[in-house]
Amino acid sequence: MPIFRQICSMVLSLKGSRWEGWFWALPLLAVIGPVLLAVSLTCQVPKADHWFVVGDPYLGFLQDGSFGNFLHSPGNDSRHDAARILHWLVVRLTDWNLVVESLVCVGLGLVSCAMVLSLWRRSHPGSWGTRWLLGGFSVVLLLSPMQWMNWTWGVQICYMLVIAASVGVVWVFERGWPLWLRTLVAGGFAVVAAFSFINGWLAWGLGGVLLFWELIKRRGRGGEGWTALGLWGLMFGVTLWVFVSGWPEEKALSGSESGMSMEKAEKVVVFFVRLLGAPFAEGWPTLDRELRSQLVFALSSVVGVFSLVLLLVVGWKLWAKLRRGEVEVGQMGPWLLLCGWGLANAAAISLARVDSPGFLPFQSRYPAYTLWFYIGLFGLLAMVMTGPGSRWLRWVGRGWFLFLVWGWGVGAVQGWRDGVKDARSCGLLEASVSLRQVVVEPLLLDSVDPGSGLRIGKALDELDAAGVLSVATVRSSLVAEATMAPEGMFQGKLVKGELEGSGVSIEGWAMEKASRDAARSVVISIEQAGVPERWLGIVTRRKREAKVAKKVDARAMEDRIGWAYVPMTGEERVAVSGAKLTLQRAPLPSGEATFRAYAFDPRTGVFSRLDGSVTLPLP
């Protein structure tokens, strides 16, 4: 392998050169992936958590003009003051451009990666090459498309900010600054973490441990250590007082109020193990949903349990090395803290979400927290893979690491696919918001803000009036008054329609000619004798149309250029939350009616009639 050795020699020659810093920054180029996801897949309407974090508080500000209430009003179980400052800037400076909001999340992720790279470069005792390799892998993990939800949903600013601030606490204490300055700066980071999301309070624990270690190193000599600890306690107390002041009595400060039974404890353990192993549980890049579900449920438990056992083995080896004087506690400190922080986050999420649906441990937002367990474990493992008696551990560690690399690669592919699927669904959500004044599509509009009922229409109208709604608003129910797209912009056809139960079922396909991708949405119209053609509803399902897709050279993932408008059964539920629908479709008229289909771009508000129509006798 002479070429490989030459490459390694060339890389190692960078150590100590003027190019070393640039070489260490190379892994940060992985940010290109999240940037592309944010720009191309961000939904253009606020949805779900967006409302209680940003939407509702901002509407309150528009009504009473109180910036303080906007910042300090509590969420479900957290205060988001620090995150809302960033949201405020996005809303005011960009008219709430949701792509910019997603890019803020990406920027915060990049800051976290830069700090962890600095820790690998300056605070780990391993060899230069090992530190760069593990530091680089840490970065590509943290910036992976497996976390697509954190890169395409701007409300995740509260997640990404608490992570950047918490890592900042560890990073600051590793600097060579005076202790009082490190305490003040780290305290500022801890305040930001606590006012971003509820688990940001763990940052105070990170800083407290590091300050106690400073006292131990000084062996009680000198007053600077005690002064710093007192300052830390004072900042913590003030932050806690501000946090709880004015907290509504009806809001709980924890995610679960029920007791802990043996059965629930078992569920928590299972949830915890799966959550921990989830980032690497995608065993194969399959499109088969059932097979994929079976793989992630099985492999997440295996990866989680094995990694915890490996942590115990590494801990035992580190203790032996510590007793022999081969490693110092200070060298282990940052990695022990990151590892413990990742475990604490996983435990907190498990306790708060254990009663949620079984798929929740695999949501793409959670690796932002749990991956820090692995980054800390990388650092600890690298300390024990050298020396006598470590050969077997080296082989085990390398095998585990290669498995994680495979899981990361497959997870990145599957995460990108999931992001594309979500964006495809977002096209329908955007259409329901754009057409809210003329067509109410419950399955879609109820998913924008689950459980809000008729209030969501009024809230969207207020955002539109304030100029911060990023989709066009259609104000007329008449097709003749709609804005039509230029000829040739869309291609598609209404293929069939029939009576089904108390409604109609209509199917077809549609795509954009320029991108060869599926149309963002399709709207159904109805026309009767003596009554002008008007909008009836929005399609709610995407369908695979392999033969048609091949014939027209479509490039939609899984050939999903097909669509379907189906009658409602009354059993439908809001996506993800499972809540009952609170809105209703307008009733169908009676008599003979002709139905047509129009491709619709909610971002520009233009329609394009598709080929075909169907005439049905309505009861």
Q: How many residues does the chain have?
A: 619
Residue 58 sits in the same domain as residue 205: yes
Q: Which residues contact 551 (CB under 8 A, 6 or more apart)?
A: none
In contact, 582 and 446? CB cutoff 8 Å: yes
Query: For the chain, first and last CA: distance in Å?
Result: 78
- Evaluate whether residue 446 is within a structural domain: no
Residue 311 sits in the same domain as residue 181: yes
- For 123, other C-beta atoms within 10 Å of its C-beta total 19
- Evaluate whether residue 451 is within a structural domain: no
Give the pLDDT confidence score for residue 558 in this predicted structure.
81
Answer yes or no: is pLDDT of 375 > 50. yes
Q: Of 410, 425, 440, which closes a domain?
A: 425
Give the pLDDT confidence score for residue 150 in this predicted structure.
94
pLDDT winner (highest mean) among 212-226, 333-347, 548-562: 333-347
Residue 196 sits in the same domain as residue 292: yes
In contact, 470 and 45? CB cutoff 8 Å: yes
Q: What are phi and psi of 108, to 5 degrees?
A: -65, -40
Residue 399 sits in the same domain as residue 531: no
Report how far residue 367's alpha carbon sits from residue 588's, in angstroms, rounded to the nearest whole number: 46
**Tens of pLDDT along 476-514?**
999 999 999 888 899 999 999 999 888 899 999 999 998
| H-helix or E-strand spanning residue 292 | helix 289-323
DSSP 4: H
Answer yes or no: is pLDDT of 4 > 50. no
Token representation of residue 518: 């599926």
Residue 207 sits in the same domain as residue 71: yes
Percent of the chain scoring above 90 in pLDDT: 58
Residue 300 sits in the same domain as residue 388: yes
Residue 401 sits in the same domain as residue 484: no
Strands 606-609 and 483-484: parallel
- Evaluate whether residue 15 is within a structural domain: no
Report how far residue 86's alpha carbon sits from residue 74's, in angstroms, rounded to the nearest whole number: 16
Token representation of residue 187: 């305290």
Residue 492 sits in the same domain as residue 581: yes
**Tens of pLDDT along 429-440?**
999 999 999 998
- Evaluate whether residue 157 is within a structural domain: yes
Residue 493 sits in the same domain as residue 380: no
- State how many domains the chain has: 2
Q: pTM for the complete prediction?
A: 0.92
- Evaluate whether residue 167 is within a structural domain: yes
| H-helix or E-strand spanning residue 245 | none
Token representation of residue 455: 């209030």
- Evaluate whether residue 470 is within a structural domain: no
Residue 405 sits in the same domain as residue 500: no
Find the domain containing 557 and state its range.
Answer: 476-618
Residue 172 sits in the same domain as residue 293: yes
The better pLDDT of the pair 75, 249 is held by 75
Residue 314 one-letter amino acid: V
Closest residue by Cα to residue 413 from 47, 145, 43, 612? 145
Q: Of 361, 390, 425, which closes a domain?
A: 425
Residue 420 sits in the same domain as residue 496: no
Residue 90 gets the label, from left (phi > 0), alpha (psi -120 to 50) or beta, of: alpha
- Evaluate whether residue 578 is within a structural domain: yes
Q: Of 388, 404, 425, which closes a domain?
A: 425
In contact, 334 and 322? CB cutoff 8 Å: no
Report how far residue 494's alpha carbon sits from residue 427's, in angstroms, rounded to the nearest whole number: 19
Report how far residue 242's alpha carbon sits from residue 236's, in angstroms, rounded to the nearest whole number: 10
Give the pLDDT confidence score for residue 129 in this predicted structure.
87
Residue 149, SS3 per DSSP: helix
Residue 595's CATH number: 2.60.40
- Evaluate whether residue 3 is within a structural domain: no
